[in-house]
Structure 1
Amino acid sequence: MTPPAAWAGLPFFRDTYPVIARAIDAEPLPVYPPATHRFRALDLCPPDAVKVVILGQDPYHTPGKADGLAFSISQDFPGKLDSLGNIFKELHDDLGVSRDRTDLADWAAQGVLLLNTALSVPKGKPKAHSRLGWTELTRQVLETLSARRRAFVLWGGPAKAFEPHIRGGGHLVLRSAHPSPLSAYRGFFGSRPFSRVNDWLIENGETPINWTTPEAR
């Protein structure tokens, strides 16, 4: 698989990804998201375009759900929204706006890098690929993006563990529980990440993110 052009210089793609790719090829279970979407988050957000990083855990492990962007769900998925449903609830409570589009590509188009700390997962086995070496990619991405001030939103323990790789000063770093139904009530609800990110962007002369459904702009 060809690395995302704007990120291809990261040592990860030369040193680590070939090992991960072999492990994925040997995985007996279906792996999500599809290989064509594995680096979708990086494809849609070259480094110079990134204003906000939302860091999650690993892709959804249910067939047809993961689309390559952290927390995003394929638009035609008929099942429960789980973490994304809680994100939409917090969005409404925070900004008083609603969203019904589950594909978050419009956030990516505005400079929101929706990155998981692992970019693959076998069917029905959450976190099963978390030790394959994806952490090297997360570390290198965060260190690259630390070169200028950005907003970093760390949802859940695996994401918060990468905070030491956000270098330098002047960043906005928000930390909370993961929006999963198992943990959202432990500090995700009420954390107001959307308004806090937008307030910070405005203070720093940046255009705020439109978090609602694109057609509502």
Structure 2
Amino acid sequence: MAARPLKEIMEPGWADALEPVAERIAAMGDFLRAEIAAGRTYLPSGANVLRAFQQPFEEVRVLVVGQDPYPTPGHAIGLSFAVAPDVRPLPGSLENIFRELHADLGLGRPSNGDLTPWTRQGVLLLNRALTTAPRRPAAHRGKGWEEVTEQAIKALVARGTPLVSVLWGRDARNLRPQLGDFPAIESSHPSPMSA
């Protein structure tokens, strides 16, 4: 199956920004199709794999980087740390994020874990690896997504417009040198296992 043009699968600004890694994105599509052909599934669902790149590229002002999607079926929606509105209980990472937002800023707890409203405010919720296998955290780490996410960050930096980054976890913190002089908040992953 031929790869679809990037402008058909993501916001046009992102399609331009990610053109240097279009072949890698196509190769990752081939990898995911091979997983399905072999009887294996992946998370998030196909329609959500590139969801982070649906928001306008030019509107990104805050970059939040996580490691990889939630491995629990029904949780990952293609935005780092976010879950579908009906997911209960919330993943521990998201609980910790909400707890810190309340402690640091006095913000009330959102009614659910869908962080889509954040994306409408210019927040890019990006994982280093955009897919994983069900119940297997980091299963797709090192398969090629990192090249895509590094290009996304490189393109954001090249714009020269204001950008603040939140780098949660070692994988995310390893991106700090790519951000140049842009401010970044670095911390351990908000997972209960590391927080």
TM-score normalized by the length of structure 2 = 0.88
Aligned to 1:142: 153
Match of 1:7 in 2: 14
Residue 59 of structure 2 corresponds to: 49
Is the 8 Å Cα contact of residues 21 and 147 (structure 2) preserved in structure 1? no
Aligned-partner residue type, residue 23 of structure 1:
F
- Which residue of the partner structure matches residue 132 of structure 2? 121
CA RMSD after TM alignment: 1.4
| Segments of 4+ moved more than 3 angstroms | none
Aligned partners of 1:54 and 1:153 also within 8 Å: yes
Structure 1 position 172 matched with structure 2 position 155: no
Which range moves more in the overlay, 141-150 or 155-164? 141-150
* Residue 33 (structure 1) aligns with: 44
Percentage of identical aligned residues? 39
1: CA distance, partners of 2:102 / 2:123 = 19
Worse overlay, 75-84 or 61-70: 75-84
Q: Contact 1:3–1:13 at 8 Å: present in 2 too?
A: no
- Segments of 5+ residues of structure 2 without an aligned counterpart are none
Counterpart residue type for residue 156 of structure 1: G
The residue that corresponds to 1:212 in the other structure is none
Aligned residues: 181
CA distance in 1, matches of 2:31, 2:58: 31
1:130 correspondence with 2:138: no
Quote the offset at 1:26 in angstroms.
1.8
Q: Which amino acid aligns with 2:164?
A: A
Aligned-partner Cα distance in 2 for 1:12–1:99: 40
Aligned to 2:77: 67
The Cα shift of 1:13 comes to: 4.6
Q: Secondary structure at the match of 2:9?
A: coil
Structure 2 residue identity aligned to 1:159: A
| 1:71-86 aligned within 5 A | 71-86=81-96
2:166 to 133, 153, 169: 153
Pick closer, same or farther for the CA change 1:79–1:30 going to 2, 3 Å.
farther
Secondary structure at the counterpart of residue 16 of structure 1: helix
Is the contact between residue 12 and residue 136 of structure 1 (CA under 8 Å) also seen in structure 2?
Answer: no
| Structure 1 residue 103: Cα displacement | 0.3
